[in-house]
Amino acid sequence: MSACELCNLCENPGTLQTAVNKGQVASDVRCFIGERFTVWRCTNCNSIHSAADVDLDYYYSQYPLKKHSLDFPSRVLYGNRLRLLQKQGIGPSSRILDYGCGAGVFVEFLREKGYTQAFGYDSYVPAYAGKEILGERFDAVVSFDVIEHADDPRQFLTDLRNLAQPQGVVLVATPNADYLPVPGPTPPDLEMSQPYHRHILSRRVLLDLGQQLGMTAVKVFQRNPVDSFIPGMNVRFMWTYIKQTGGYVDAGLEPMRVGTILRSPSLLFYSLAGTFFPPRANMMVIFRKQS
């Protein structure tokens, strides 16, 4: 993936050389422990860019989330995710595409729930890498934590829009650059997630891009709206747990360290009340394609 030294998201782009906020961020994948990557914030649009020129095929070959499976926590969170789509008129007969679906866990969940026209696409996962699906159109195109991985977010959002039917739903969930510090902390940072996150958008940039592409933002969430009141089933708890176990995303897919939780007042608190304290560095926008 090419290096980024000039913001590709705004009309008056900032540069790496003139950036006031820039620094080194550690990878949040355990097998790349010790690796550091330069990130910087655009002085105009507030988005964050990764300056590194890296071989993402190499890094994705060791990406822990490729091992994700449909477990109980996933079913709880995906149930809340599905309800968001249902509120936009998406039903069992609707055609749904999960763009950047990873291991296809959400697609599997939807099909379990009777959504037989649910499909996935992910160029880094052989089972979902077939491009034939990209020639079709869908009632809903969803993309959870993917646009920040794209080398060209504007083109990525254009692709999502083109895959949606007229008046179709385009749902984008992604980290929010407005609430991420740069330079990042010395420990690995889940939202910064280097070197995978190439461009982390500010709220203004994401909304502006959608408007420029002829989409109306019908719902904007300044938090992750899939949290549950079931103990431990919320993003704040999971993010805190991962940070307290070293900061590596691998921990989220490994057996839970019960002792760590029992010895941590903050983890015990967030397991019960984390839904009321969602991380601010996440956002979700539901767009409606106009034509």
Residues 209 and 101 in one domain: yes
The answer on 260 and 122 residing in a single domain is no
Q: Check which CATH number belongs to the domain holding 85 and give it.
A: 3.40.50.150
User: Would residue 262 count as lying in a domain?
Assistant: yes
Q: What is the mean pLDDT of residues 226-231?
A: 91
One domain, residues 171 and 249:
no
Average pLDDT over residues 203-213: 97
Question: Is residue 214, in this structure, part of any structural domain at all?
Answer: yes
Q: Which of 17-21, 182-186, 233-237, 282-286 has the lowest mean pLDDT?
A: 182-186
How far apart, in whole angstroms, are the C-alpha atoms of residue 238 and residue 277?
A: 12
Total of domains in the chain: 2
Mean pLDDT of 66-94: 92
**What proportion of the chain, given as a percentage, has pLDDT over 90?**
82
> Could you check whether the bond before residue 183 is cis, i.e. omega within 30 degrees of 0?
yes
pLDDT, residue 19, reads: 94
Same domain (yes/no): 258, 218: no
Ranges of beta strands (E only) in 176-269 are: 199-200, 215-221
Model pLDDT, residue 185: 62
Residues 221 and 268 in one domain: no
| 112 and 249 co-located in one domain | no
State the chain's mean pLDDT as an integer: 93
Cα–Cα distance for residue pair 179/53, rounded to 1 Å: 25
Sequence-separated (6 or more) residues with CB below 8 Å from residue 258: none
Domain annotation covers residue 45: no
Q: Is residue 70 part of a domain?
A: yes
pLDDT (tens digit, 9 = 90+) per residue, 184-200? 666 778 889 999 999 99
Q: Is residue 98 part of a domain?
A: yes
Above 90 in pLDDT, residue 225?
A: no
Q: Are residues 248 and 140 in the same domain?
A: no
Residue 38 forms part of a structural domain = no
* Residue 56: strand, helix, or coil: helix
pLDDT higher than threshold 80 for residue 95:
yes
Same domain, 250 and 156: no
Q: In this predicted model, what pLDDT tens digit does every residue of 212-223 receive, in sequence order?
A: 999 999 999 987
Q: Give the pLDDT score at 45.
A: 96
212 and 261 in a single domain? The answer is: no
- Are residues 240 and 167 part of one domain? no
* Residue scoring higher pLDDT (230 or 52): 230
Query: pLDDT-based confidence at 53, cuts 50/70/90?
Result: confident
Q: Is residue 55 in a domain?
A: no
Pair 171, 242 in one domain: no
Residue predicted with more confidence, 190 or 171: 171
Of residues 4 and 285, more confidently modeled: 285
Query: What average pLDDT does this structure show over 273-288?
Result: 94
Tell me the C-alpha distance between 85 and 89, whole Å. Answer: 7
User: Both 92 and 211 in a single domain?
Assistant: yes
The dihedral built from the CA positions of residue 63, 67, 72 and 78, taken in this order, carries a sign that is: positive
Name which residue leads in pLDDT, 184 or 233: 233
The terminus-to-terminus CA distance of the chain in angstroms comes to 33
* pLDDT given at position 186: 67
Three-class DSSP labels, 82-134? HHHHHCCCCCCCCCEEEECCCCCHHHHHHHHCCCCCEEEECCCCHHHCCHHHH
Domain range for 147: 64-175+203-225+281-289
In a domain, 42, yes or no: no
- Confidence (pLDDT) at 168: 98
Ranked by mean pLDDT, the top range of 122-131, 159-168, 248-257 is: 159-168
pLDDT of residue 1: 46
